Structure 1
């Protein structure tokens, strides 16, 4: 398939439940467990455990309806404000937040997180803590100067963006522009945590292929530093998953803070 015919996540929409089933479900083979589940959970747990990223408000603006990257954050922030670009992703996430029938089952991730943190005795409380920390899931429009217009969000102590920049950016200029826009949601000296897929050109959801922006570690580092951040941590994990659902070569985790 010609890459020009790939769908765009924020333009064409995406079946968010199918996306979870492909990449985050508790299937017997768990093809993406090491990359998509363990890698984020381990790095978030280690980063937050250091104790310097903490505060009242965390804003999460990420791909799809995943919540596993927020498990560690709920211990360090009073409120997690979740922003989504599509109504379907909002509906899917609210189904889980409200514990409704048919919600995606994150029990395997809850167990995985407890194992990584060594807190298996708190297993039953973990999902409740995550739910309690998220007061709302809000629609955002990436084309607007204020993405949540007419609502103005309070400045955040930390922003997490998991996979979103990879799928909404057409090129390097686009990536930097979107990075700058989400960075404006931060307080002075606030923290930014990015997770992305390196050298990806596409990912699949159902029968559809979606665009992926291709970039490397060097570009990601320079983009973050160029927006006034100091990188505190950068981890790269080579791909282990064997699947043709998407074609990334490695994953990157960056934790950084604003100098001013």
Structure 2
């Protein structure tokens, strides 16, 4: 299939529950635990433990309705604002936040997280702490100058973005333009954490094959520096997952701050 015929996340959407089942669940055939669960978790724990990132407001701009990347953040930021590009992902996330029947079970990740932090005694409290920290879940539109128009958000101390830029960007210009919008949401000196997949051309959710912007570490670094960021930490991990659901080759974790 030609990549130009692939669906695009923020335009066409996808089955948000299937996305979680395929890439973040504890199903025996879920091949991505090492890459999509453990890799971001370990890097986030390390990054926040250094104590440089903390404050009042954290904005989450990530793909799908995932929440596991917020488990560390809720210990360092008073208010978390989650922005999503599709209504379906908002509904799926709110189902978990409101502890509704049928919500996706993140229990396997909660257990893994408290073990990684050596805080197994906090297992019962961890998910509730995340739920309490998430103050708002809102829709955003990257076609607008202010992506939350007509609402103007308070400048953020930190933004976390997992796997979003490669899912909504068609090319390098898009990536840089969207990165600039991220920067506009940050305070001077604010921090940005990017988690992504390198050298990826597609990913699959259910029966849908979706577009992914293909980029490498060098491009990501240059894009950040070009938009006025100083890179504090970067970690690259080779793919371990064996699956034809997606074709990324490596993962990237970057922590940077705005000049």
The TM-score bracket by the shorter chain reads: over 0.9
User: What is the alpha-carbon distance in structure 1 between the residues aligned to residue 173 and residue 150 of structure 2?
Assistant: 27
1:245 and 2:245 equivalent? yes
Question: What are the ranges of 5 or more consecutive residues in structure 1 without an aligned counterpart?
Answer: none
Q: Is the 8 A contact 2:197 2:249 kept in 1?
A: yes
Within-5 A mapping of 1:158-173: 158-173=158-173
What secondary structure sits across from 1:192 in the alignment?
strand
What secondary structure sits across from 1:141 in the alignment?
coil
What secondary structure sits across from 2:256 in the alignment?
strand
Q: Is the 8 A contact 2:22 2:30 kept in 1?
A: no
Within-5 A mapping of 1:1-260: 1-259=1-259
Q: Is the 8 A contact 2:202 2:247 kept in 1?
A: yes
User: What is the alpha-carbon distance in structure 1 between the residues aligned to residue 81 and residue 226 of structure 2?
Assistant: 26
Question: What are the ranges of 5 or more consecutive residues in structure 2 without an aligned counterpart?
Answer: none
User: What is the alpha-carbon distance in structure 2 between the residues aligned to residue 116 and residue 250 of structure 1?
Assistant: 22
- The one-character-per-residue Cα deviations of 1:138-189 (angstroms, maximum 9, x if unpaired) are 0111100111111100000000110000111111111000000111000011
TM-score by length of 1: 0.99
Q: Is the 8 A contact 2:56 2:77 kept in 1?
A: yes
User: What is the alpha-carbon distance in structure 2 between the residues aligned to residue 121 and residue 30 of structure 1?
Assistant: 27
User: What is the alpha-carbon distance in structure 2 between the residues aligned to residue 247 and residue 135 of structure 1?
Assistant: 35
What secondary structure sits across from 2:188 in the alignment?
strand
* Residue 135 (structure 1) shift: 1.0
What secondary structure sits across from 1:245 in the alignment?
coil
What secondary structure sits across from 1:149 in the alignment?
coil
User: What is the alpha-carbon distance in structure 2 between the residues aligned to residue 93 and residue 42 of structure 1?
Assistant: 23
CA RMSD in angstroms comes to 0.6
- The one-character-per-residue Cα deviations of 1:226-257 (angstroms, maximum 9, x if unpaired) are 11011000000000000000000000000000
